[in-house]
Structure 1
Amino acid sequence: MRSARAMVAPLALAQFICSYAGTAMNVAIAPMARDLHTSVFGIQATITLFTLTMAALMIPGSKLTDVWGRKRCLVAGLVLYGLGALLAALAPGLGVMIVGNALLEGVGSALMIPPIYILITVVFPDVATRAKWFGVVSGAGALGAATGPLIGGVITSLLSWRASFLLQVLVIGWIIVLIRRLPDPPRPGPAPRFDVAGALLSAAGLLLVVLGVLQTSTYGWGAARTDFTVAGHVVIPAGGVSPVWPVLALGALTLAAFVLHLRRTERKGREPLLHLRLFGDRAANLGLGTQAVQWLVMQGMFFVVAVYLQDALGYDAIRTGLVLTPATAGILVASAVAGRLARNRTQRTLVVGGFVLTLAGMVLLLFLAPSGFLGTVPGLLLGGLGLGTMLTASVNLVQSSFPDRDQSDISGLSRAVSNLGSSLGTALAGSVIVSAAHPGGRPYAASLSVLVVVAVLGLVLAILLPRGAGPSP
């Protein structure tokens, strides 16, 4: 048990720091813009580019674990991430910040996140034990995303936003020390050749899809709210079709070309970036769908509540983070008992139950949040319990559906889907808030209602999972 904890602790810490980095900068945008002699838009673009880089490279980064080895890939990702955080902490201007935070940290995240889930899957063959440690890692990721604004706000207020990046450097250095004796079971068969063309197509397709999703907050889903310009020329005027759709269509076409490339590569007997057999498992496909919805709902819910507290009630970043504590506590409690739950219930039951709890929490938020802080506690707590329960179960179901030889493929696909869900959650909630912000409108209630509808769709996907999917031992 002690050796298992010693192995999983640095992996959970690595997942925590990546999730923390994704939300901590949001509370330091104004001071960063001032210190780096740039605009708020410049910092927001850096945050967006970090998300794009990580999401676009998640599948190629995962495949590299077969080529370089899982532990080597993890260490390379940690080193790149640490260098990026150090560069960001010392950045004199926006250009260096983009290189450090958006590029090096983004590439580092794409290299180190997939090995975390692959190593847990191959080291712990027992479903319940695996669920326990997946719960620890998933809980750490959710905790990082939830506490990022609070910790980042405290550090920025007491010290500086640069100290937040230096903290990441110290944590990354500690993780590198802790993983020196990390086991790395050999992958079956020889190391494959890396599919460069597939990597370029998948990265381009995912980049365009995520970019299109993120642009919804600026341009909306229907008519464009503002002019869409390229090199100073208005390509789509305000009121025309939102540029989101052409970007998403181009992304979809690129991903279709990626699939055709995979098919041709397999027919030639070569090693593709992603094996198409992954999409032949119904339970795994539905599990990937529930993963996307879960991350969409979680990030969307956190975003809506945070914006409501700061915009409508005038809370600062620290108070906002404290109000979100019940959700964090719920996620941690559910993650802590994930192993015990997996021994007594199938993964399908846990995913369905998690959606039910989350929906109940969101409905409570919808009706009780206007009453103030105490009104948010029941909804956030229930939502956190539900999310913690099904996040672990969905990851366990998807990863456990495939043998060791496919772990790099499914881990990259799973992380890419989760990142896409996260991006869509914030963008969807933000675009609804902007659209419903007219006089007399109820933007926060509208955005939360949309998230409830999405969660219902996730519940339908969970119910469609084959009975007994992810059986308990």
Structure 2
Amino acid sequence: MTGSGTRWLPLLTLGAAQFLVVLDTSVMNVSISQLVADFDTDVTTIQRVITVYTMVMAAFLLTGGKIGDAVGRRRTFAIGLVVYGVGSLMTALAPTVAVLTLGWSVIEGLGGALVLPALAALVGGNYAAGRERALAYGVVGALAGAGIAVGPLLGGWVTTYLTWRLVFAGEVVLVLLILAGLRSVHDAPLDGPRPRLDPVGAALSVLGIALVVLGVLQSTTWGWLRPRDPEVTVLGFAPTFFVVAAGLVVLALLRAWVRRREEAGQDPLIRWSLTAVPPLRSALWCLLAQNLVLLGLFFAIPLYLQVVLGLDAFQTGLRLLPISATMLVTALVVPRLAGLLAPRQAVRLGFGILVVAILWLLATVEPELDDAAFAGATALLGIGMGLLAAQLGNIAQSSVGEDDRGAAGGLQYTAQNLGSSLGTAFVGSVLIAALGGAAARGIGGDPRLTADLAGQVGVAISRGLDFVPVGQAGSALAAAGVPPDQAAVVLEAYAEAQLQALRAGLLAAAAIALASVLVTGALPATRAREEQAGPAPV
């Protein structure tokens, strides 16, 4: 950077792109009810649309990182933004769920897969190693969190008073502004010759990751082992296990293929030796867990606020605002405390705070919302996420040399988006399974219901329940001719089952945050300031 007045202009451009790419998911999460109404569909379908977006990004990020190495990080960043803008425009105009899925989940997902690995490399290329780079990655991490947390407020206001489509129209304008600001960003070229793309490795990575996420996502429809739909089975079992297992087999083939090309001196999709760098490997696991927890919560919490409590999208966004505020502040402050907190200590503290915050949040899941307790829990949740956001991106990038930053960025954002996909799918699966189980127990054990109606409801539950407002469920019962007194009993059990299901989803997220402490052992444990740290040998 040549001048102190302009040295942060590249970060403004790159940070805006990071904010843009992660904004969408949180906007969609808070607009679930409106999307269901606009497209005349159900929550499960919108859950799939949300998950496919992060799945596409996760599946193509390694390929996106390699494309950046091959054609140039700055050029790939610009191409990805254009693709993303086209997808945003299509989303804003989408007349059907199919077009929404194509524009948002697929085209925007592909654009994000090109933007994010290049972005990680460009941050490292524009800011010198040390405190300046640590602060830059902290800002990018904070803006990622801010995009996830501000999305509910922005999307909620626009959805409630205007239309969610305006958010995506606004993204097209933001893409144009970022492209204009790209002149301030220097490229981050490789020292050696540019590599060639490995098409076989790219195909294996896309297929393997897509199968794993698809299996977890479809578990809400197929079931895990016991099939929910007798017409969709494999050897008498639900297909979920077999699809996930197939994905893991494909990823094992990817590992063998990449190592073979690496040993033969050919350009692999990614240097497998990078996964042997302990700080990078540990940071990747932590990034996956962080995003699994965060996106799982951002799927479950809006369901509670909107479906159970009946709040509109803007009211939901207001109640999630403490996460944004505390996460942004924490992520900006922590890099300046490099001499007080070692990265490993900060990450472990972050996960510990997440566990406490989620358990506190779980205690607020009641028929009446305690606004003060909810605000306190979400503010604490933002602090925990801010601690993680301030550390993990810099650890991942500082663990490798300059030429490997694109590959490390691909791994970094693959872990993040895989966690995001699995978070929405996994927590959604736990929530729907718990909903059915709790409803079956509540209805089956209630003597006020006739045996005939209890049996009919039990059969309906076994085929899978959707998470809908109690009023909508009441209308369905009335349309089916269920007597009002019997319908009231069923609705009472269903309302209680919703609360129990939400608590189960939150408890699953807390368990993941707690278990994540086990993978932090290889993170840097010294309190030395970042400018004294150099890249780890590969």
TM-score (norm 2): 0.81
Residue type of the alignment partner of 1:379: A
The residue aligned with 2:329 is 333
Q: Give the Å deviation of 1:465.
A: 3.6
Matched, 1:459 2:462: no
The 8 Å contact of residues 305 and 311 in structure 2, kept in 1 or not, is answered as yes
3-state SS of paired residue (2:195): coil
Provide the C-alpha distance between the structure 2 equivalents of 1:430 and 1:40, rounded to a whole number of angstroms.
10
User: What does 1:275-354 align with in structure 2 at a 5 Å threshold?
Assistant: 275-354=271-350
Matched, 1:399 2:402: no
Q: Give the Å deviation of 1:428.
A: 2.1
The 8 Å contact of residues 55 and 206 in structure 1, kept in 2 or not, is answered as yes
3-state SS of paired residue (1:3): coil
Q: Give the Å deviation of 1:140.
A: 1.3
Matched, 1:147 2:150: yes
Provide the C-alpha distance between the structure 1 equivalents of 2:357 and 2:167, rounded to a whole number of angstroms.
32
Deviations 1:186-216 (A, max 9, x none): 2110111111111111111111112122223
3-state SS of paired residue (1:99): helix
Which has the larger displacement, 304-313 or 39-48?
39-48
Which has the larger displacement, 412-421 or 100-109?
100-109
Aligned residues, how many?
466
User: What does 1:129-208 align with in structure 2 at a 5 Å threshold?
Assistant: 129-208=132-211
Q: Give the Å deviation of 1:25.
A: 2.7
Q: Give the Å deviation of 1:433.
A: 1.8
Match of 1:236 among 225, 233, 236: 233
The residue aligned with 1:231 is none
**Closer/same/farther in 2, CA of residues 47 and 430 from structure 1, 3 Å limit:** closer
Q: Give the Å deviation of 1:414.
A: 1.1
**Closer/same/farther in 2, CA of residues 377 and 41 from structure 1, 3 Å limit:** closer
Structure 1: segments with no counterpart, 5+ residues: 229-233
The residue aligned with 2:258 is 262
Q: Give the Å deviation of 1:44.
A: 5.0
Q: Give the Å deviation of 1:304.
A: 2.5
User: What does 1:86-97 align with in structure 2 at a 5 Å threshold?
Assistant: 86-97=89-100
Provide the C-alpha distance between the structure 1 equivalents of 2:55 and 2:194, rounded to a whole number of angstroms.
28
Which has the larger displacement, 69-78 or 355-364?
355-364
User: What does 1:111-122 align with in structure 2 at a 5 Å threshold?
Assistant: 111-122=114-125
Q: Give the Å deviation of 1:74.
A: 0.4
Report the identity percentage: 35
Provide the C-alpha distance between the structure 1 equivalents of 2:194 and 2:331, rounded to a whole number of angstroms.
34
Deviations 1:226-245 (A, max 9, x none): 217xxxxx2318x9533221
Deviations 1:325-384 (A, max 9, x none): 111111111111132023443211211121122222222223345461111122211111
3-state SS of paired residue (2:193): coil
Matched, 1:103 2:106: yes
Q: Give the Å deviation of 1:27.
A: 4.3
Provide the C-alpha distance between the structure 2 equivalents of 1:197 and 1:291, rounded to a whole number of angstroms.
27
Provide the C-alpha distance between the structure 2 equivalents of 1:384 and 1:285, rounded to a whole number of angstroms.
25
The 8 Å contact of residues 160 and 314 in structure 2, kept in 1 or not, is answered as no
Q: Give the Å deviation of 1:114.
A: 1.2
Residue type of the alignment partner of 2:514: V
**Closer/same/farther in 2, CA of residues 243 and 293 from structure 1, 3 Å limit:** same
Deviations 1:387-418 (A, max 9, x none): 11112211111111000111111110111111
Deviations 1:44-101 (A, max 9, x none): 5444432222111111001111111111000000011111211222334455444322
Structure 2: segments with no counterpart, 5+ residues: 443-495, 533-538
**Closer/same/farther in 2, CA of residues 463 and 85 from structure 1, 3 Å limit:** same
Match of 2:383 among 382, 385, 394: 385
The 8 Å contact of residues 131 and 338 in structure 1, kept in 2 or not, is answered as no
**Closer/same/farther in 2, CA of residues 311 and 36 from structure 1, 3 Å limit:** closer
Q: Give the Å deviation of 1:460.
A: 2.2
Provide the C-alpha distance between the structure 2 equivalents of 1:464 and 1:190, rounded to a whole number of angstroms.
32
Match of 1:251 among 230, 247, 250: 247
User: What does 1:212-227 align with in structure 2 at a 5 Å threshold?
Assistant: 212-224=215-227, 226-227=228-229
The residue aligned with 1:432 is 430
The 8 Å contact of residues 56 and 105 in structure 2, kept in 1 or not, is answered as yes
Provide the C-alpha distance between the structure 2 equivalents of 1:151 and 1:48, rounded to a whole number of angstroms.
21
The residue aligned with 2:86 is 83
3-state SS of paired residue (1:436): helix
Deviations 1:155-176 (A, max 9, x none): 2332223322211101111111
The 8 Å contact of residues 132 and 335 in structure 1, kept in 2 or not, is answered as no
Matched, 1:444 2:502: yes
Q: Give the Å deviation of 1:324.
A: 1.0
TM-score (norm 1): 0.91
Matched, 1:71 2:74: yes
**Closer/same/farther in 2, CA of residues 46 and 458 from structure 1, 3 Å limit:** closer
Provide the C-alpha distance between the structure 2 equivalents of 1:112 and 1:436, rounded to a whole number of angstroms.
37
3-state SS of paired residue (2:232): strand
Provide the C-alpha distance between the structure 1 equivalents of 2:432 and 2:390, rounded to a whole number of angstroms.
33
**Closer/same/farther in 2, CA of residues 93 and 303 from structure 1, 3 Å limit:** closer
The 8 Å contact of residues 369 and 375 in structure 1, kept in 2 or not, is answered as no
Deviations 1:416-436 (A, max 9, x none): 111111122222222222222
Provide the C-alpha distance between the structure 2 equivalents of 1:375 and 1:31, rounded to a whole number of angstroms.
27
Larger-Rg structure: 2
The residue aligned with 2:421 is 423
The 8 Å contact of residues 59 and 210 in structure 2, kept in 1 or not, is answered as yes
**Closer/same/farther in 2, CA of residues 33 and 451 from structure 1, 3 Å limit:** closer
The residue aligned with 1:365 is 361
**Closer/same/farther in 2, CA of residues 222 and 87 from structure 1, 3 Å limit:** same
Provide the C-alpha distance between the structure 2 equivalents of 1:317 and 1:443, rounded to a whole number of angstroms.
21
The residue aligned with 1:53 is 56
Match of 1:8 among 4, 7, 11: 11
**Closer/same/farther in 2, CA of residues 451 and 418 from structure 1, 3 Å limit:** same
Provide the C-alpha distance between the structure 1 equivalents of 2:425 and 2:47, rounded to a whole number of angstroms.
13
Q: Give the Å deviation of 1:103.
A: 2.5
Provide the C-alpha distance between the structure 1 equivalents of 2:370 and 2:139, rounded to a whole number of angstroms.
32
Provide the C-alpha distance between the structure 2 equivalents of 1:418 and 1:456, rounded to a whole number of angstroms.
18
